[in-house]
Chains A and B, each alone.
Chain A
Amino acid sequence: MAATTDSVKADASEAPLLNKVNLFAGLMLYLVFYSFIRWYEGIYGWSAGLDSFAPEFETYWMNMLYIELVAEVFIASSLWGWLWKTRDRNVMSITPREELRRHFHHWVWLVMYGWAIYWGASYFTEQDGTWHQTIVRDTDFTPSHIIEFYLSYPIYIITGVASFLYAKTRLPAYSEGLSLMYLVSVLGPFMILPNVGLNEWGHTFWFMEELFVAPLHYGFVFFGWAALAVLGVVNTEVDALTKLLKKDLA
């Protein structure tokens, strides 16, 4: 393409800067999957999820938990392993255009991380409030927890770490050192999952009721603040992209 044209179309043989198929397929994947999960909760929460000693609870909820855990370990190790195994060992030698294309890929990952954070930290966490304020729990592994803690949280963790690994292994801007805010924005929300240990311990030993503002829950709050580190990630990205876009036109 001539440098003098104002056309924004890329060469026919060249891959597009933004792979829109990946972007929309990713968004739809989570939307459709979580819509199915919400349907499952609606059907089997009331019919099979109230008594953890009932056989149907084992069938519909504990088996779901076991499947989730195995699938998450498999997906996390496969995805993270693949990203690391296929890393670019000459990342500093790529062209500016390839670097921009990778930034767009990176932003697809970040969009997916934001989308996964929404489902985990907002949708399924507040949903947990109405479920546990309505029913009386007789187990740590309630229908709400099996979805919230052991499905939606691992999914955003897997997505966030994958996003971080993509940036670290394929973008020159992240190749030297570790972005502090990127680490915080991934590790902080990750720590919400281990904090479940405190939550369950407290609810098991002294607090069966569900008061959402109880100090027992403040660990979740503290680690939720780490989401603000996305501001630092945005700033880092804007700095890198500004450098890429402000050079002389080819």
Chain B
Amino acid sequence: MSASQSAVRSRAEAVQVSRTLDWMILFTLFTVILGGYHIHYMLTGGDWDFWADWKDRRLWVTVAPIVSITFPAAVQACLWYRYRLPFGAVVCVLALMIGEWINRYLNFWGWTYFPVNFCFPSNLVPGAILLDVVLMLSGSFVLTAVLGGMAWGLVFYPGNWPIIAPLHVPVEYNGMMFTLADLQGYHYVRTGTPEYIRMVEKGTLRSFGKDVAPVSAFFSAFVSVIIYFLWHFFGRWFSKTDFIDGEGV
């Protein structure tokens, strides 16, 4: 066999080799992205994602989209630019959410006994679909950053509303009024994270009353656009195939 010859012996074998490698690449990409994205997300927005009583109308809505658009932007930059694959954002979010759900069930519930309706993860799927669809239809990273990034931030709260709404109804308990989610947190004590650490409903934005969530979502959408641009270039850099001289390394 000379150097100009193929490593495979038939077109059918070439196809089989290619498909097998596709699955191995996808598995590796999925699990490594899962690990990197999950550790990033849990340590930049995790507390709001862990607990229902952190999922407020202000900081959760603001923080979660901003810190979670990072990996989807980077992976889109590689998968679309190199392979014209329009599912970078959905792959990231599915990986993250599978990792989160396994954890919430087996560990938050299975080891420390918090009910799943107190520690379910935020839903990021609607934003990911929009991000990928904008990229696929437009073929433009600028439009994806501006329209997709904006949609990513704006759709986060509506995308989670059916899940969180029942826990935001007011209840009266010992003469005080708070939400059902607050009541869950009151009863399921997290000794290592006392109440004074919880960051919810802070600031004076409450003076605008009912507009808290839309204003937070709009601000989050604005920052998400900027973060998308930044992480697009991170993705481009991480996609490099450069070799460096081994001398002195």
Contacts and interface: CB of A to CB of B under 8 A. Distances in A.
A135 B8 CA distance: 57
Given A115-B31, A121-B36, A232-B240, 6 more contacts: A3-B10, A7-B12, A192-B39, A211-B193, A229-B238, A236-B241
A79 to B, nearest CB: 19
Contacts of B112: 130-131, 134
B31 A180 contact: no
Contacts of A89: none
A52 interface: no
B243 A228 contact: no
A181 interface: yes
A126 B29 contact: no
A212 B48 CA distance: 10
Nearest to A1: B9
Contacts of A22: none
A195 B188 CA distance: 31
Contacts of B235: 228, 231
Most chain A CB within a 10 A radius of its CB, from B31, B99, B111, B242: B31
Contact of B35 (A95, A110, A122): A122
Interface of B is mostly: helix
17 contacts: A18-B20, A96-B3, A97-B8, A100-B7, A122-B103, A177-B244, A178-B244, A178-B249, A181-B242, A213-B44, A228-B33, A229-B238, A232-B239, A232-B240, A249-B5, A249-B10, A250-B5
B239 A213 contact: no
A232 B192 CA distance: 40
Interface of A: 1, 3, 5-8, 17-18, 38, 41-42, 45, 95-97, 99-100, 103-104, 107-108, 110-111, 113-115, 117-118, 120-123, 125-127, 129-137, 176-181, 183-185, 189, 192, 209-213, 217-218, 220-221, 224-232, 234-239, 241, 244-250
Given A96-B7, A107-B28, A127-B103, A120 B12 contact: no
